[in-house]
Homo-oligomer: A and B are copies of this chain.
Amino acid sequence: MATATFDAFTAACPSRKLLDTLSDKWVSLAIVALGLSGSLRYSELAARIEGVSQKMLTQSLRRMERDGLVTRTVTPSVPVRTDYELTELGRSLMPVMRHIKEWAEEHMAEVEQARAAYDAA
Protein backbone atom coordinates (compact mmCIF):
# COMPACT_ATOMS: atom_id res chain seq x y z
CA MET A 1 0.00 0.00 0.00
CA ALA A 2 2.97 2.22 0.54
CA THR A 3 3.95 1.50 -3.03
CA ALA A 4 0.56 2.66 -4.14
CA THR A 5 0.77 6.01 -2.39
CA PHE A 6 4.27 6.94 -3.51
CA ASP A 7 5.54 7.00 -7.08
CA ALA A 8 8.98 8.29 -8.01
CA PHE A 9 7.85 8.82 -11.62
CA THR A 10 5.80 11.71 -10.31
CA ALA A 11 7.84 14.88 -10.03
CA ALA A 12 6.21 16.20 -6.88
CA CYS A 13 6.27 12.91 -5.00
CA PRO A 14 8.58 12.93 -1.96
CA SER A 15 9.99 9.60 -3.07
CA ARG A 16 11.43 11.35 -6.13
CA LYS A 17 13.64 13.45 -3.90
CA LEU A 18 14.53 10.43 -1.82
CA LEU A 19 15.50 8.56 -4.97
CA ASP A 20 17.67 11.49 -5.89
CA THR A 21 19.36 11.32 -2.50
CA LEU A 22 19.92 7.60 -2.77
CA SER A 23 21.29 8.16 -6.25
CA ASP A 24 24.51 9.54 -4.85
CA LYS A 25 27.80 7.74 -5.22
CA TRP A 26 29.01 8.83 -1.78
CA VAL A 27 25.84 7.57 -0.14
CA SER A 28 25.95 4.24 -1.91
CA LEU A 29 29.65 3.73 -1.20
CA ALA A 30 29.16 4.64 2.46
CA ILE A 31 26.30 2.19 2.83
CA VAL A 32 28.27 -0.61 1.22
CA ALA A 33 31.32 0.14 3.36
CA LEU A 34 29.28 0.18 6.56
CA GLY A 35 27.40 -2.91 5.49
CA LEU A 36 30.63 -4.81 5.00
CA SER A 37 32.30 -3.69 8.22
CA GLY A 38 29.37 -3.31 10.60
CA SER A 39 30.71 -0.19 12.26
CA LEU A 40 33.29 2.32 11.14
CA ARG A 41 34.91 5.43 12.48
CA TYR A 42 34.81 8.61 10.49
CA SER A 43 38.44 8.31 9.51
CA GLU A 44 38.00 4.69 8.51
CA LEU A 45 35.12 5.61 6.22
CA ALA A 46 37.17 8.40 4.70
CA ALA A 47 39.98 5.92 4.03
CA ARG A 48 37.75 3.30 2.44
CA ILE A 49 35.89 5.75 0.23
CA GLU A 50 38.95 6.97 -1.54
CA GLY A 51 38.76 10.46 -2.93
CA VAL A 52 35.84 11.73 -0.90
CA SER A 53 36.29 15.15 0.68
CA GLN A 54 35.48 15.69 4.36
CA LYS A 55 32.75 18.07 3.34
CA MET A 56 31.01 15.55 1.14
CA LEU A 57 31.49 12.69 3.57
CA THR A 58 30.15 14.66 6.52
CA GLN A 59 27.29 16.03 4.47
CA SER A 60 26.32 12.60 3.23
CA LEU A 61 26.54 11.04 6.68
CA ARG A 62 24.40 13.81 8.18
CA ARG A 63 21.71 13.35 5.58
CA MET A 64 21.81 9.61 6.08
CA GLU A 65 21.56 10.06 9.82
CA ARG A 66 18.60 12.39 9.41
CA ASP A 67 16.90 9.91 7.10
CA GLY A 68 17.35 7.18 9.68
CA LEU A 69 19.86 5.14 7.68
CA VAL A 70 22.80 5.38 10.07
CA THR A 71 23.43 6.01 13.73
CA ARG A 72 26.17 8.33 14.87
CA THR A 73 27.85 7.59 18.16
CA VAL A 74 30.25 10.12 19.61
CA THR A 75 32.65 8.99 22.31
CA PRO A 76 33.89 12.08 24.16
CA SER A 77 37.39 10.80 24.67
CA VAL A 78 40.50 12.77 23.82
CA PRO A 79 40.69 12.86 20.95
CA VAL A 80 37.06 12.42 20.04
CA ARG A 81 35.88 9.21 18.45
CA THR A 82 32.85 8.95 16.21
CA ASP A 83 31.39 5.69 15.03
CA TYR A 84 28.85 5.15 12.32
CA GLU A 85 26.65 2.12 11.92
CA LEU A 86 23.75 1.21 9.69
CA THR A 87 20.32 1.18 11.27
CA GLU A 88 17.94 -1.62 10.43
CA LEU A 89 16.47 0.65 7.78
CA GLY A 90 19.94 1.27 6.42
CA ARG A 91 20.75 -2.41 6.41
CA SER A 92 17.67 -3.09 4.31
CA LEU A 93 19.20 -0.80 1.72
CA MET A 94 22.55 -2.52 1.74
CA PRO A 95 21.84 -5.36 -0.73
CA VAL A 96 20.52 -2.87 -3.28
CA MET A 97 23.52 -0.60 -2.99
CA ARG A 98 25.94 -3.48 -3.07
CA HIS A 99 24.34 -4.75 -6.25
CA ILE A 100 24.65 -1.49 -8.09
CA LYS A 101 28.30 -1.15 -7.06
CA GLU A 102 29.01 -4.73 -8.08
CA TRP A 103 27.15 -4.30 -11.34
CA ALA A 104 29.46 -1.43 -12.23
CA GLU A 105 32.50 -3.51 -11.39
CA GLU A 106 31.36 -6.68 -13.11
CA HIS A 107 30.18 -5.06 -16.33
CA MET A 108 32.86 -2.44 -16.68
CA ALA A 109 34.57 -4.34 -19.49
CA GLU A 110 31.36 -4.69 -21.50
CA VAL A 111 30.59 -1.02 -21.07
CA GLU A 112 34.05 -0.08 -22.24
CA GLN A 113 33.60 -2.25 -25.33
CA ALA A 114 30.27 -0.62 -26.05
CA ARG A 115 31.86 2.80 -25.73
CA ALA A 116 34.66 1.90 -28.08
CA ALA A 117 32.16 0.62 -30.64
CA TYR A 118 30.01 3.72 -30.28
CA ASP A 119 32.93 6.11 -30.59
CA ALA A 120 34.30 4.28 -33.61
CA ALA A 121 31.04 4.74 -35.51
Contacts and interface: CB of A to CB of B under 8 A. Distances in A.
Contacts of A50: 9-11
Given A66-B114, A100-B22, A108 B11 contact: no
A28 B68 CA distance: 23
A28 B100 CA distance: 11
Contacts of A100: 19, 22-23, 96-97, 100
Interface residues of A, number: 54
B89 A110 contact: yes
Interface of A: 2-3, 6-11, 14-16, 18-20, 22-25, 28-29, 33, 48-51, 65-68, 89, 92-93, 96-97, 99-115, 117-119
